[in-house]
Amino acid sequence: MPTYRAPVDDALFLLNDVFYLDRYGNLPGFADASPDVVEAVLREAAKLAEETLTPLNRVGDLEGCKHNVDGSVTTPNGFKDAFQQVRDGGWIGISAPAEFGGQGLPATLTEIVNEFFSSANMAFSMYPGLTQGAIAALLAHASPELKKKYLPKMVAGEWTGTMNLTEPHCGTDLGLLRTKAVKQADGSYQISGTKIFISAGEHDLADNIIHLVLARIEGAPAGSKGISLFVVPKVMVKDDGSLGNENGVSCGSLEHKMGIHGNSTCVMNYDNATGWLIGEENRGLNAMFVMMNEARLGVGVQGLALSEVAYQNAAIYAKERLQGRSISGVKYKDKPADPIIVHPDVRRNLMTMRAFNEAARALVMWTALKSDVAHRSEDEKERQSADDHMGLLTPVIKGVLTDQGFANAVLAQQIFGGHGYIAEHGMEQFVRDARIAQIYEGANGIQALDLVGRKIGRDGGRALMAFFNEVGAYIKDNSADEAMKPFVTPLGVSLGHLQQASMWFMQNAMAKPDNAGAGSYDYMHLFGLVALGYMWCRIAEAAKAKSGNGAAAYNAKLVTARFFMERMLPETAAHLARIQSGAASLMELPDEAF
Amino acid sequence: MPTYRAPVDDALFLLNDVFYLDRYGNLPGFADASPDVVEAVLREAAKLAEETLTPLNRVGDLEGCKHNVDGSVTTPNGFKDAFQQVRDGGWIGISAPAEFGGQGLPATLTEIVNEFFSSANMAFSMYPGLTQGAIAALLAHASPELKKKYLPKMVAGEWTGTMNLTEPHCGTDLGLLRTKAVKQADGSYQISGTKIFISAGEHDLADNIIHLVLARIEGAPAGSKGISLFVVPKVMVKDDGSLGNENGVSCGSLEHKMGIHGNSTCVMNYDNATGWLIGEENRGLNAMFVMMNEARLGVGVQGLALSEVAYQNAAIYAKERLQGRSISGVKYKDKPADPIIVHPDVRRNLMTMRAFNEAARALVMWTALKSDVAHRSEDEKERQSADDHMGLLTPVIKGVLTDQGFANAVLAQQIFGGHGYIAEHGMEQFVRDARIAQIYEGANGIQALDLVGRKIGRDGGRALMAFFNEVGAYIKDNSADEAMKPFVTPLGVSLGHLQQASMWFMQNAMAKPDNAGAGSYDYMHLFGLVALGYMWCRIAEAAKAKSGNGAAAYNAKLVTARFFMERMLPETAAHLARIQSGAASLMELPDEAF
């Protein structure tokens, strides 16, 4: 059975020594986030993840969810108690506003806690995670009345939330959606239609489930400009806040999936269900996009989370499994064979995972801090610049962290050899669970298109230029430092590749948009490598400055940074070459040739 | 439910137009393999694969195998009938010698047929596939008496075969194995021990199962030099060939696996089971390696096979699923949205799979033909050169085709979006099934070590030089041809990378063997890209020469070759950079830092 230890120390090092959390004291909520409070919160979250959620991970995979004859859904044994603990600890609302019962702490802390919970039990952590997403959408767009009615219970975890976008014939292209909303005399709407792939759509963890549903109001324009967002509770909520009758919402069936068996993935039927409009009519996609940005960051975190827990278990196995002898001479003479960690190729896999995990954690934290600034700063320019960063980096984090998270789960499984293919060891579950993160919340191909088609050119390329300026200035400032050269020199080369690729799109994709689509996926990964490379420079700089206590850990950071520069960053050249080859050979064949 | 159409025309094009099967008429068995016979065999195999094996693929995944209280194993519903058809068609023995009831046709045909069967149903095709592997080992090393006793029934498919190597504490490092053999007065041995991960170890498809078992004879040296190979039948065979008593062999349990559920993966217990020595005492590993070379080629074919069937289903879906509009303007005006094949990123994935599949099929065929020459030619030099090729290319084919086969199954699943994650569509089964091919028959890291540590330096680098000479001469011969330049010019660059990498090992890995281990995996993939690139040149050359009938298909070959050169081959530069970075950053951290 896999084990897990939450990387609390690494998170604290990043928060304190790399990103200087203490410099954000002017933001609301950050003053409360003193170093000792932050550490206490993270250690408490680690305990819950390690002791309660980890042991339930395989239980959830084996048992899955059950759809009962009365339409209810039973979650795996133990999930109910665990959810009670999450609720009692106030974990759903640690970053929610105090006025709705939250603790108002930085959203950055929520992302770190979510990494721990997802490592421990991805399927389980989606129940609170989706609730957080629904809270974010209601906070941003709902009327004061709706907020007052739903948010306190959701923040407290008494009720959970969902997102209802996909229909059988449309996922990516929401303009095709058919779910119908008919306005009633009392201002509410009757919602009818079928939604699929609804995570946590029905379960036994909470008294009510608050569905956010995209639907088309009768008479609204066709396509994506006629879509509105509604809140549709499973059980009607009376004016005094108590629960009333069942609404016209039911779970039609559960999907049989490759993984995340512990999460209920539902076909949801809306049959003249009563709902209330969130935000303006026909502006539902905009409202949903707010929720999706947060959710996409959260899915990127899932990629990191699975990579981390898979790495930890692979490292333990590599130190225990005795097989063969080191090619440079016997290392453990007292044993019948050396542990496989002596083999360079096993090391290569372990270092690959680690070099990703530690930089990806930094990238998430950097971006989560920007999200806090974007939501909480009183300085408009600061907010705008932070928002630019969020918009630009969100598709990169979602796409790259989930692709690499899956790849690393596969690498970790490989270290187990045949034992990795056997269910009992749990490594194959990580692979199956990690796979969904590349698909949902916008398949990664869509993230790449979002990046190239929308984000890099927005506002005259303002966000992209700011990113180039920051990384470029950092390289310049540090290039005279001999100790930083092994890190900033290769980063400079790869930043150059990213700039050339961006320029290539400007010159070649206006007239021929297929050139943008053909290079978008490589561009997303090229961008991700540069961003991770920048994180490694920042980490190395901080690690260099530390000594004494924990010197071994800081030295490990420097070695891992070098590994990243030598082994992973050079891939940017291949990405650039593919981008510059353009769309011709992709698009030449007629459709029927496939 | 996935569908499958065996690529018979592509196989015939490769056999006839790229590799000139008609030039091999001097080899035994090849004269019988006239173009019409070959085509008839392949069309018949295609029919069996498409109509019988494909519909059973999901059945096998859902039902799995059952371990009954009496120790017997029941295969999924329909497998027994299907196996009867394989037996009746003589498919196991199409390339086996006529003296044992085979048809003596080229082994190359067997590889092609195995691709079809594995695409249709990988878990099922392992039952006949492992039997073919056991036949190969007996043919190469067993005494005439043992051959006479076992081979005819195995070639006929009345009995099946297995390979028993792995034990709980040893897989890669067989020197640690503990299964014991005690010589008896009658010349037989009593075998005792436990083997794990034994594919097809017990089942209900045949009257007897012939286990090939590695064990250590009492008093033999420790380590890999004290291992012998034995034949151990499940049911004793009397001198008249009829079945006698049960032997001391039993299936202790079935493994719960990530995929290939239709194949029984057994823990096998040998309890004073009677066995007979194959080949010489303490030379068991050598005998097993013969079988493993064939088996590794076969596993490479599984990688190709899953990539092919996953590609076919993704292509169908991409032409049917309507979602969004082409960024270069609406393509299907009469539909509510364009099929997703219009999107460049979807095309990129489809072309990636296809560019791999068609070249990988060529690479398998090229190497299978060498295997026929190595086994059948009367010219010693020809045999040696073909054997050199086999030894060099086998780890490349096993490692690269299974890594890319898995990656392509994932790509194909991705094209289905959320639907790819749902079991009913069958795409996630391809991913789970394909995954094992990277692990068994020597995990791919071991293939890379075999290539770098043994194969490239063997006999003074004779095999490697022959490969360089052939590819180099081809590039030279074709570089003046304008139409071939887009193919041979990039191949020349990548061949240069491979040569530089080989040189780097010569200069840097003698004194520091870790440098070889650290670069081995990249070297294997660099080698694979050059080999596939060479295949694309050969295919393009043949396609250029064709016109008229099927011109569209030949044009598609040229476009796909260009895609490969532009999009896939440039990766060789990144592999070279990683190899040249050496072992330092991998090996620097102490083991306890992980």
Of B347, B418, B573, the CB nearest to A440: B418
- Within 8 A of A435 by CB-CB distance, chain B residues are 410, 413, 421, 428, 431
To test the contact with chain B by mutation, choose from A122, A421, A536, A569 the residue with the greatest count of B C-beta atoms within 10 A, namely A421
Beta-carbon contacts of A278 under 8 Å, excluding residues fewer than 6 positions away, are A137, A138, A141, A142, A143, A146, A212, A229, A230, A231, A284, A287
Query: Nearest CA to CA, how far is B136 from chain A (Å)?
Result: 24
Query: Nearest CA to CA, how far is A79 from chain B (Å)?
Result: 23
Calculate ∠ Cα A253-A258-A263, nearest 5°.
55
Q: Report the C-alpha gap between A482 and A486 in whole angstroms.
A: 8
Residue of A nearest to B446 (CA): A345
Q: Closest by alpha carbon to A228, among A182, A297, A296, A294?
A: A182
Kindly list the distances between the CA atom of residue A549 and the CA atoms of A10, A78, A545, A552, A554, in Å, as whole numbers in the listed order: 14, 40, 12, 8, 9
Residue type for position A125: S
A99 is catalytic: no
Q: Report the C-alpha gap between A270 and A207 in whole angstroms.
A: 19
To test the contact with chain B by mutation, choose from A316, A347, A411, A428 the residue with the greatest count of B C-beta atoms within 10 A, namely A347
Token reading at B542: 């043949």
Q: Report the C-alpha gap between B350 and B339 in whole angstroms.
A: 14
- Within 8 A of B594 by CB-CB distance, chain A residues are 315, 318-319, 341, 350, 354
A414/B593 Cβ within 8 A: no
CB contact at 8 A, A575 and B557 = no
Active-site choice (A424, A441, A482, A592): A441
Q: Report the C-alpha gap between B293 and B395 in whole angstroms.
A: 8
A315/B422 Cβ within 8 A: no
Q: Closest by alpha carbon to B363, among B403, B390, B385?
A: B390
Each residue of A524-536: pLDDT tens digit? 999 999 999 999 9
Handedness of CA A138, B324, A500, A571 (dihedral sign): positive
Token reading at B367: 């190497």
Of A417, A448, A513, the CB nearest to B327: A513
CB contact at 8 A, B121 and B60 = yes
A445–chain B Cβ distance below 8 A for any pair: yes
Of B349, B438, B556, the CB nearest to A589: B556
B171/A418 Cβ within 8 A: yes
Tell how strand B249-254 and strand B243-246 pair up. Answer: unpaired
Of B422, B453, B562, the CB nearest to A256: B422
Report the mean per-residue pLDDT for chain A: 96
Strand-pairing partners, residue B268, are B195, B251
Residue of A nearest to B258 (CA): A421
B562–chain A Cβ distance below 8 A for any pair: yes
| Range A41-63 average pLDDT | 98
Query: Nearest CA to CA, how far is B271 from chain A (Å)?
Result: 24
Instruction: Say whether pLDDT at A13 is over 90.
Output: yes
- Within 8 A of A583 by CB-CB distance, chain B residues are 344
Per-residue pLDDT of chain B in tens (594 residues, 90 and over written 9) = 899 999 999 999 999 999 999 999 999 999 999 999 999 999 999 999 999 999 999 999 999 999 999 999 999 999 999 999 999 999 999 999 999 999 999 999 999 999 999 999 999 999 999 999 999 999 999 999 999 999 999 999 999 999 999 999 998 888 999 999 999 999 999 999 999 999 999 999 999 999 999 999 999 999 999 999 999 999 999 999 999 999 999 999 999 999 999 999 999 999 999 999 999 999 999 888 777 778 899 999 999 999 999 999 999 999 999 999 999 999 999 999 999 999 999 999 999 999 999 999 999 999 999 999 999 999 999 999 999 999 999 999 999 999 999 999 999 999 999 999 999 999 999 999 999 999 999 999 999 999 999 999 999 999 999 999 999 999 999 999 999 999 999 999 999 999 999 999 999 998 899 999 999 999 999 999 999 999 999 999 999 998 767 788 899 999 999 999 999 999 999 999 999 999 999 999 999 999
B445/A439 Cβ within 8 A: no
Q: Report the C-alpha gap between A312 and A308 in whole angstroms.
A: 6
A196/B585 Cβ within 8 A: no
Per-residue pLDDT, B550: 74
Strand-pairing partners, residue A422, are B257
B578/A573 Cβ within 8 A: no
Q: Report the C-alpha gap between A376 and B306 in whole angstroms.
A: 51
| Range A237-263 average pLDDT | 97
CB contact at 8 A, A97 and A139 = yes
B521–chain A Cβ distance below 8 A for any pair: yes
Residue type for position A372: D
Instruction: Say whether pLDDT at A557 is over 90.
Output: yes
Residue type for position B425: H
Sketch the domain layout of chain A as residue ranges: 457-587
- Within 8 A of B358 by CB-CB distance, chain A residues are none
- Within 8 A of B62 by CB-CB distance, chain A residues are none
Q: Report the C-alpha gap between B358 and B54 in whole angstroms.
A: 21
3-class SS at B182? Answer: strand
Residue of B nearest to A417 (CA): B439
Handedness of CA B482, B488, B490, B492 (dihedral sign): negative
DSSP code at position A282: T
Query: Nearest CA to CA, how far is A382 from chain B (Å)?
Result: 34
Q: Report the C-alpha gap between A297 and A283 in whole angstroms.
A: 22
The ipTM assigned to this model is 0.97
Cβ-defined contacts of A267-271 (< 8 Å, 24+) = A267/A194, A267/A195, A267/A196, A267/A198, A267/A201, A268/A164, A268/A194, A268/A195, A268/A196, A268/A198, A268/A201, A268/A202, A268/A211, A269/A194, A270/A179, A270/A191, A270/A192, A270/A193, A270/A194, A270/A195, A270/A213, A270/A215, A270/A232, A271/A192
3-class SS at B457? Answer: coil
Provide the chain A residues 321-350 that lie in CB contact (below 8 A) with chain B.
322-324, 327-328, 336-337, 339, 341-350
Query: Nearest CA to CA, how far is A390 from chain B (Å)?
Result: 24
Each residue of A260-277: pLDDT tens digit? 999 999 999 999 999 999
Q: Report the C-alpha gap between B153 and B148 in whole angstroms.
A: 9
CB contact at 8 A, A95 and A105 = yes
- 10 Å Cβ neighbour count for A31? 10
Q: Helices B122-141 and B79-88 sit at what angle, rounded to 10 degrees?
A: 40
Each residue of B539-580: pLDDT tens digit? 999 999 987 677 888 999 999 999 999 999 999 999 999 999
Of B328, B514, B556, the CB nearest to A593: B556
B239–chain A Cβ distance below 8 A for any pair: no
DSSP code at position A161: E
Per-residue pLDDT, A286: 86
Of A323, A328, A351, the CB nearest to B514: A328
Residue of A nearest to B170 (CA): A323
CB contact at 8 A, B539 and B18 = yes
B513–chain A Cβ distance below 8 A for any pair: yes
Query: Nearest CA to CA, how far is A80 from chain B (Å)?
Result: 25
Q: Is A449 exposed, middle or buried (0-12, 13-18, 19+ CB in 10 A)?
A: buried
Strand-pairing partners, residue A195, are A268
Query: Nearest CA to CA, how far is A429 from chain B (Å)?
Result: 8
Q: Report the C-alpha gap between A145 and A143 in whole angstroms.
A: 5
Provide the chain B residues 374-393 that lie in CB contact (below 8 A) with chain A.
none
Strand-pairing partners, residue A322, are A339
Chains A and B: how many Cβ contacts under 8 Å? 247
Token reading at B115: 């691709």
In sequence order, what DSSP letters do the residues of A163-214 get, joined into one string?
Answer: EE--BTTBSS-GGG---EEEE-TTS-EEEEEEEEEEETSS-SSSSEEEEEEE
B591/A341 Cβ within 8 A: yes
Tell how strand B228-233 and strand B243-246 pair up. Answer: unpaired
CB contact at 8 A, A237 and A188 = no
Of B345, B514, B589, the CB nearest to A327: B514
3-class SS at B249? Answer: strand
Of A337, A421, A436, the CB nearest to B176: A337
In sequence order, what DSSP letters do the residues of A480-524 get, joined into one string?
Answer: T-TTTHHHHHHHHHHHHHHHHHHHHHHHHTTT-THHHHHHHHHHH
Residue of B nearest to A448 (CA): B345
pTM: 0.98
Residue of A nearest to B562 (CA): A585
Residue of B nearest to A429 (CA): B258
A513/B328 Cβ within 8 A: yes
Of B322, B556, B594, the CB nearest to A315: B594
Q: Which residue matches tokens 């039902």?
A: B63
Active-site choice (B202, B428, B441, B541): B441
- Within 8 A of B516 by CB-CB distance, chain A residues are 327, 344
